[in-house]
Amino acid sequence: MKLIIAIVHDEDVHHLIDDLTKDKFMVTKLATTGGFLKAGNTTLLIGVEDDKVDRVIEIIKNNCETRNQMVTSPTPISGAAGVFIPYPIEVKVGGATIFVVDIEKHLKL
Amino acid sequence: MKLIIAIVHDEDVHHLIDDLTKDKFMVTKLATTGGFLKAGNTTLLIGVEDDKVDRVIEIIKNNCETRNQMVTSPTPISGAAGVFIPYPIEVKVGGATIFVVDIEKHLKL
Amino acid sequence: MKLIIAIVHDEDVHHLIDDLTKDKFMVTKLATTGGFLKAGNTTLLIGVEDDKVDRVIEIIKNNCETRNQMVTSPTPISGAAGVFIPYPIEVKVGGATIFVVDIEKHLKL
Ligand code: NI
Ligand code: NI
Ligand code: NI
């Protein structure tokens, strides 16, 4: 058996857990903070049979891969004197760090 | 040496740590959130010699096994018009997820 | 590859991450609570090549080793009636718990 430790962005957690449980994978969610980013990360522990590791990594990729997103700048830049114009900027969202570790036992009490 | 990763319910943590430290096991407590349940989970990291793994699992079982508990419904159901009757319901509490991983080094600075 | 799980004191995290990233190590920070101490602990996950494990442990030692620190007692003891005298006491700060685990895969999406 393998333990997959996946650190993913908060915004991707909901759909990732949806997809993992749809495929009957057991997921345990830990609290995580994201370091320097305001938006936090979440750590998931997933215990799987050896031959399911690639399937889990595929599901994580589908939900968490880094992509660009247009957001409206939260701090509008001043144009002419006294005029604030909100404008769209492109930011990277998503991303994941994955560790695969061999486990000797996996118990559910 | 082995690393035992145990995710247990918040309500069981206090007595579990009491029992583990009574037997001289070193426990490190991480913060955890419980996913969909309001009440949280806690993750414990326990580094032990190979021949102590079963003893630690036994202690976790003694403190954390799933059991039924009667609680008074927090949202009383309306009986006759305008009458709210609190009633007892049975819920599952406790439970634990355990991973046992081989470790190469365990240092305490 | 190895996964180094390091549980360190909050006050040491900033400089430890500074030093690890200066040496190009990839660090993931998890949230941790410190058990009985008010000041919390933080858990770091560091994925490294086998021949870098000793270097990472050295960097953790440099930043986190237990040391004595003089602090002014936050609850001054009463001397003569009605007189509160703050006084310095020596406390242990820092310290770290480290687990080194073998990993089969380390992905960054
Ligand atoms: Ni959804
Ligand atoms: Ni007690
Ligand atoms: Ni600094």
- Encode pLDDT of C53-72 as tens digits: 999 999 999 999 888 877 77
More confident residue, C78 or B6: B6
Q: Is the model's pLDDT at C75 over the cut of 90?
A: no
Which pLDDT value is given to residue B86?
67
Distance CA A53, CA B57 (A): 26
Q: Could you give phi then psi for residue B86, rounded to 5 degrees?
A: -65, 145
Which pLDDT value is given to residue C108?
86
- Direct distance between the N- and C-terminal alpha carbons of chain C, in angstroms, rounded to an integer: 18
Lowest mean pLDDT, pick from A73-77, B79-83, C40-44, C89-93 = A73-77
Q: Which residues contact A10 (CB under 8 A, 6 or more apart)?
A: A34, A39, A40, A41, A42
Nearest Cα of chain A lies from the Cα of C53 at a distance, in angstroms, of 16
The residue assigned the tokens 């240092």 is B107
- Direct distance between the N- and C-terminal alpha carbons of chain A, in angstroms, rounded to an integer: 18
Residues of C in contact with B108 (CB under 8 A): 95-98
Q: Do A31 and C29 touch (CB under 8 A)?
A: no
More confident residue, A2 or B70: A2
Residues of A in contact with B33 (CB under 8 A): 29-31
> A1-19 burial, b for 16+ CB within 10 Å, e for fewer?
bbbbbbbbbeebbeebbeb
Domain C2-66+94-102 sits in CATH at: 3.30.70.120
Q: Do B3 and C5 touch (CB under 8 A)?
A: yes
Max mean pLDDT range (A36-40, B77-81, C45-49): C45-49
C contact test, residue of A99, A101, A102 with most C CBs within 10 A: A99
Band of residue B4 on the pLDDT scale cut at 50, 70, 90: very high
Distance CA B27, CA B39 (A): 22
SS3 A58: helix
Residues of C in contact with B47 (CB under 8 A): 97, 99
> Chain B residues within 8 A (CB-CB) of chain A?
2, 5, 7, 30-35, 41, 43, 53, 57, 60-61, 64-66, 94-102
Q: Is the model's pLDDT at B55 over the cut of 50?
A: yes
Which pLDDT value is given to residue C10?
84
Ligand that comes closest to the CA of residue A63? 1
Give the start-to-end residue ranges of the domains of chain C. Answer: 2-66+94-102
Q: Which residues contact B38 (CB under 8 A, 6 or more apart)?
A: none
Q: What mean pLDDT value characterizes chain A? A: 82
CATH architecture type of domain A2-65+94-102 = 2-Layer Sandwich (3.30)
Q: Answer whether B7's CB lies under 8 Å from B30's CB.
A: no
Band of residue B69 on the pLDDT scale cut at 50, 70, 90: confident
Q: Is the model's pLDDT at C39 over the cut of 60?
A: no
**What's the A15 CA to ligand 1 centre distance in angstroms?**
5
Q: Could you give phi then psi for residue A78, rounded to 5 degrees?
A: -75, 130
Q: DSSP 3-state helix, strand, coil percentages of chain A (rounded to 5)?
A: 25, 45, 30
**What's the C14 CA to ligand 3 centre distance in angstroms?**
6
Token pair for B52 = 């102590």
pTM over 0.90: no
Which pLDDT value is given to residue A100?
96
Q: What mean pLDDT value characterizes chain B? A: 82
Q: Do B99 and A45 touch (CB under 8 A)?
A: yes
Q: Answer whether C99's CB lies under 8 Å from C5's CB.
A: yes
Task: Specify the DSSP element, H or E, that contains C107.
Answer: strand C96-108
Which pLDDT value is given to residue A93?
76
Q: Which fold has domain B2-66+93-102?
A: Alpha-Beta Plaits (3.30.70)
Below-70 pLDDT ranges, chain A: 31-39, 73-86
**Contacts A–C by Cβ distance under 8 A:** 65
B contact test, residue of C5, C44, C51 with most B CBs within 10 A: C5
Extract the runs of DSSP E, i.e. beta strands, from C13-95. Answer: 27-31, 41-48, 67-72, 77-78, 84-85, 88-93
User: What are the CA-CA distances from residue B96 to residues A66, A106, B3, B4, B13 (Å)?
Assistant: 33, 11, 16, 12, 11
Residues of B in contact with A47 (CB under 8 A): 97, 99
Q: Is the model's pLDDT at B63 over the cut of 90?
A: yes
Q: Do A107 and B94 touch (CB under 8 A)?
A: no
Which pLDDT value is given to residue A42?
84
Four-CA torsion B55, B58, B59, B63, nearest 10 degrees: 180
**What's the C9 CA to ligand 3 centre distance in angstroms?**
15
By CA distance, what is C58's nearest residue in B?
Answer: B109
SS3 C38: coil
Q: Which chains have 3+ CB pairs within 8 A of C?
A: A, B
Token pair for C63 = 């930043």
